[in-house]
Amino acid sequence: MPTPRMRTTPLPGIGVQYDLVTREDHHISVVAHRDGTRTLAVYLADDPDACAEAVHLTEAESASVIDALTPAHHSPTLLHTTDLGLVAERMELSAHSSWNGRLLCDTLLRTRTGATVVAVLRRSGAVPAPPSDFRLAGGDVLIVIGTRESADAAADLLDRD
- 83 and 57 in one domain? no
- Provide CB contacts within 8 A for 120, sequence distance 6+: 104, 126, 127, 130, 134, 136, 140, 141, 142, 143
- 133 and 85 in one domain? yes
- 148 and 82 in one domain? yes
- 56 and 111 in one domain? no
CATH of the domain at 114: 3.30.70.1450
* Residues 94/130/106/63 CA torsion (nearest 10 deg): 20
pLDDT tens per residue across span 104-133: 999 999 999 999 999 999 988 899 999 999
Last residue of a domain, one of 16, 41, 66: 66
Q: How high is the pLDDT of residue 122?
A: 92
Kindly give the parts of the chain with pLDDT less than 50.
1, 77, 161
Q: How many helices and strands (H and E) does the chain possess?
A: 4, 9
Q: Is the pTM of this model over 0.85?
A: no
- 144 and 94 in one domain? yes
- 94 and 31 in one domain? no
- 143 and 94 in one domain? yes
User: Is the distance from CB of 17 to CB of 29 less than 8 angstroms?
Assistant: yes
How many angstroms separate the most distant Cα atoms in the chain? 58
pLDDT tens per residue across span 138-150: 999 999 998 888 9
Q: How high is the pLDDT of residue 2?
A: 54
- 81 and 55 in one domain? no
Look up residue 14 and give its DSSP letter: T
- 93 and 45 in one domain? no
- 142 and 107 in one domain? yes
Show the domain range for 118: 74-159
Last residue of a domain, one of 16, 36, 66: 66
Look up residue 135 and give its DSSP letter: B
Domain count, the chain: 2
- 90 and 120 in one domain? yes
- Provide CB contacts within 8 A for 37, sequence distance 6+: 56, 57, 58, 59, 62
- 105 and 56 in one domain? no
Q: How high is the pLDDT of residue 1?
A: 46
Last residue of a domain, one of 66, 89, 115: 66
- Distance between alpha carbon 109 and the CA centroid of its chain, in Å? 21
